[in-house]
Chains A and B, each alone.
Chain A
Amino acid sequence: MATQLNPLFNASLSLGDLGIVESVSKCIEPKLDELRGKRIVFSCDDKKMIPIDGWGMRSSPHSTTTVTTIRPIKENALVAAIDSSSVKLAETEEGSLYGTKCGIATACAGRALMHFRIGPVLFYLSESSIHDSELEERLARLVLLDDDFANRLIRVRTERAVQKELASHFTNSIILVDGSLKASVFEDRERGIGKIAESCVLRKNMLIGISKGTNLKVLNRAAAPLTKVPVPAYIEVDLIIRSLIRNTVGSNSMVKLEKSSTVLRADIVGDRSKSLGMLLGNDPVAAGYPETLRLAHHISTFTSTEITCLRSHVLNSYGVTELAADDIRRTLLGSISV
């Protein structure tokens, strides 16, 4: 029987008496005995940390161990990489204001050609704008409530719009996408990844989605043999991906684009070997990552100056009134500077 305590009259309260310690230790089984002897990588904030030499040779039971080397194909083709970013700029009682930027970087025959910087463009997400977005109702409400969802909505729609146009206008080109080729709930029906892949096939374009990191640890294990190969190579991981994720497009591989570089996940619409060979033949690769995709990332990110300028633009152009605001966490929790 639980001890009856009256905190007002008993000054010697202990956690043991309250049963909190026991309760917390049993809320999830700690299983710390299983940690013993393991190799670990410590986490650092929200960054994705990976072991430099991979997790080792322990293979996944699902993976094939066929490592295919990639030979650069010296056949000129345009590589166009797309990336975007979005930030929440302001909030009103009814909605939120977001800014987005998109970058397209192109290369051919191993040399950077030109890049396009699109934006910043502003989006005000309120009930009415979400209503027009054809999102499913529960998702729409989530977007209004959660900034991460809203940012993803904006990024997915912006990128898909650009990808669709490139896929419909280019021929025999490589379209590089940051991230996996997976249908998103935020996509516009007309500009979904499926439609983009379809356009690519029709116009003989190759669509490659490259993911820098994956949460699927099994993929890292499957890619372990790649770390020992001294040349660019890939391993097919279609079976693993399809057993875990629905709605992906194209074939799935783990690739290493340079000797001793990081292993990346690549989803490819088109012939796998030819696409990767053409990519290596036309896009300069540095530190195991395509330069066009790197450049697209850099030109699409917001700088603090741009955010300051966007605020100034909003204040000057839309007749809004800025209210004094405070960081609620800081106000409530305080800060202890060390």
Chain B
Amino acid sequence: MKILSKSRNELLLLAMKDDTASKGDYLLIEDRSRNMIVQVYDEEYLSSQALVEDIVKEEVVNASSVENLHDPLNIGSLSRLVRDARIFRAKIRASVKDGELSSDITWLPSRVESKIRRLAMKELDSFVGRRGIFPIPLGRTGDGEEFEIYAEDMDGKLTIITGKKESGKSHLSKILVKTLVQHGAFVVVFDLNNEYSGLGWNSDGTPSSLHRHVKVLEPGKTLMFSLDYCGKGAISGMLKNALDMPAASLREFFRIWDWLENKKSLSIDAIGNAVNTWNINELVRDALVSRYHVMQSSRLFADSGLQFEDVISAGSGGAALVINMGELSPTVRRMVVELVLSKVVDLLERQVIPPIFLFAEEAHLYIRDTYWEDIITRMRHFGIYTTFITNQPDAISDAIYRQVDNIFLFNFTNDGDLDKISKVSLADNDTVRSIVRTLPQRHCLAIGKAVYDLPVVIRVATAEVLMLGETKKFFKK
């Protein structure tokens, strides 16, 4: 490989047939005592008008009659080499001097003297100083080297996993959840497709190593709360944000709540009776009755119910609380999320539970944008570290993207999605557009703090756990 030219922070490298590099691969340009680290983001043919004309001419000639060649100097093979020559477009990422990584990329490597070679991920890690205590093996790089991030890089961070449908987002998300739990972390998953319950089982049907650490919560069945446990704060948030209750009705509701609490008879049935008999404006009563019926039909409230602190203290060594929301109506979904988040924040504020990791699949379907922004801004201070998984990058607001620490980008071919993601991602536009467009299934581009801002293409490993959530089909193969 040889350097052809440089434009801004981009080098064009000439590669012959035997020079191989894939999109996303890192190359080291060694020039005497200094080295430059570049990343290949695109590959194209060495093309000129003359070369194209040659190829067309040869094809036309060979199509019209059979060729018999006498080429004593074997110039034809050289000519074929030239036609197969490629140009690698590579972004300059950093330089290395005396073994130390530097951001000084103001110098130009020699076109004549420089030697270019593939940079192994281990070498790159040693330059960057990327190490940690709690590894999360994600898969392999383009070279086939094993690649891992560290749980510390997700701790206190906001992560986004995005890509088009069936590109492998949930797969990666499950690997992250599984490994975090194995490292002793507590993870809450808002599972929209009821697919994370498979974490407790191996693909052969036997219980997985996480079996006892995965608690699947079915709203209305295994996920119910007592009104006492929820508290006024959580119920208020639920009524306001999930059920859009007006302020006047909310005031009446909590007058009833206080009255029942003083009588020590706070229950969902007691609220129902009080709403019907309470001396209030009929319009307010109608509002309260309609909300009461939604609460009752959701079956989320009972005299006794789940207590997060109990689950967490029981699961010493990590736990995954998978909240199945696949079969819930949108309103109940919003209620569940509101109650869970409010309660968890309450417990974190009181330091009853340790910080938790929250995995939210298609979060825009159950919480408003503005509410998520609030969650992202405030909750990282309480100790909720969120990972969004979505196939609609435009469903996440720019305000959230501005705070993101890690992005795992799977394949996108739609220009609108690529536009959005390339504008807000932590890597340069060219890299994102070129690499993401051609990523195969289960390959992702990792960007952000987990990879020390050096984008890496990863082939996500096959998970040993049971993968659920596949589309139910009428026509079976």
Query: Which A residues contact B (CB, under 8 angstroms)?
Result: 105-107, 112-122, 291, 295, 298-299, 303-306, 308-310, 312-313
Most buried by A among B51, B57, B64, B67: B64
A106, A117, A118, A303: the one contacting B57 at CB < 8 Å is A303
Confirm or deny: B50 has a beta carbon within 8 angstroms of a beta carbon on chain A.
yes
Confirm or deny: B70 has a beta carbon within 8 angstroms of a beta carbon on chain A.
yes
Using A298-B57, A305-B50, A305-B83 as known contacts, say yes or no to A114 and B68 having CB atoms under 8 A apart: yes
**Interface positions of B from 4 to 58, Cβ below 8 Å from A:** 48, 50-51, 53-54, 57
B66, B72, B82: the one contacting A113 at CB < 8 Å is B66
Number of interface residues of B (CB under 8 A): 23
Confirm or deny: B79 has a beta carbon within 8 angstroms of a beta carbon on chain A.
yes
Docked Cα-Cα span, A106 to B65, in Å, equals 9
Docked Cα-Cα span, A121 to B75, in Å, equals 9
Q: Are A120 and B65 in contact (CB under 8 A)?
A: no
Return 15 A-B CB contacts under 8 Å, by A number.
A107-B65, A114-B65, A114-B67, A115-B65, A115-B67, A115-B68, A116-B70, A117-B67, A117-B69, A117-B70, A119-B71, A298-B57, A305-B82, A309-B81, A313-B78
Q: Are A313 and B57 in contact (CB under 8 A)?
A: no
Confirm or deny: B61 has a beta carbon within 8 angstroms of a beta carbon on chain A.
yes
A298, A308, A310: the one contacting B61 at CB < 8 Å is A298
Which residue of A has the minimal Cβ distance to B69? A117
Neighbouring B residues of A298 by C-beta, 8 Å: 57, 61
Neighbouring B residues of A116 by C-beta, 8 Å: 67-70
Neighbouring B residues of A291 by C-beta, 8 Å: 64
Q: Are B73 and A122 in contact (CB under 8 A)?
A: yes
Most buried by A among B67, B72, B73: B73
Query: Which B residues contact A (CB, under 8 angstroms)?
Result: 48, 50-51, 53-54, 57, 61, 64-73, 75, 78-79, 81-83
Neighbouring B residues of A299 by C-beta, 8 Å: 61
Docked Cα-Cα span, A308 to B46, in Å, equals 14
Docked Cα-Cα span, A113 to B61, in Å, equals 12
Q: Chain B at the A interface: mostly helix, strand, loop or mixed?
A: helix
A84 → B minimal CB distance (Å): 13
B120 → A minimal CB distance (Å): 32
B71 → A minimal CB distance (Å): 7
Neighbouring A residues of B48 by C-beta, 8 Å: 304
Q: Are B75 and A105 in contact (CB under 8 A)?
A: no
A-B pairs, 4 with minimum CB distance: A309-B78, A112-B65, A114-B66, A304-B50
B54, B66, B71: the one contacting A120 at CB < 8 Å is B71
B228 → A minimal CB distance (Å): 83
Docked Cα-Cα span, A118 to B69, in Å, equals 6
Q: Are B68 and A117 in contact (CB under 8 A)?
A: yes
Using A304-B54, A305-B54, A309-B82 as known contacts, say yes or no to A115 and B73 having CB atoms under 8 A apart: no
Neighbouring B residues of A295 by C-beta, 8 Å: 61, 64-65
Docked Cα-Cα span, A106 to B64, in Å, equals 11
Q: Are B54 and A303 in contact (CB under 8 A)?
A: yes
Using A295-B61, A305-B54, A306-B79 as known contacts, say yes or no to A313 and B68 having CB atoms under 8 A apart: no
Docked Cα-Cα span, A303 to B72, in Å, equals 17
Neighbouring A residues of B64 by C-beta, 8 Å: 112, 291, 295
Which residue of B has the minimal Cβ distance to A122? B73
Docked Cα-Cα span, A313 to B48, in Å, equals 21
Docked Cα-Cα span, A303 to B66, in Å, equals 20
Neighbouring B residues of A112 by C-beta, 8 Å: 64-65
Q: Are B61 and A115 in contact (CB under 8 A)?
A: yes
Docked Cα-Cα span, A312 to B79, in Å, equals 10
Which residue of B has the minimal Cβ distance to A120? B75
Which residue of A has the minimal Cβ distance to B66? A114
Neighbouring A residues of B70 by C-beta, 8 Å: 116-119
B453 → A minimal CB distance (Å): 41
Which residue of B has the minimal Cβ distance to A116? B68
Docked Cα-Cα span, A112 to B65, in Å, equals 6
Which residue of B has the minimal Cβ distance to A103? B61
Which residue of B has the minimal Cβ distance to A292? B65
Q: Are A313 and B65 in contact (CB under 8 A)?
A: no
A292 → B minimal CB distance (Å): 9
A263 → B minimal CB distance (Å): 26
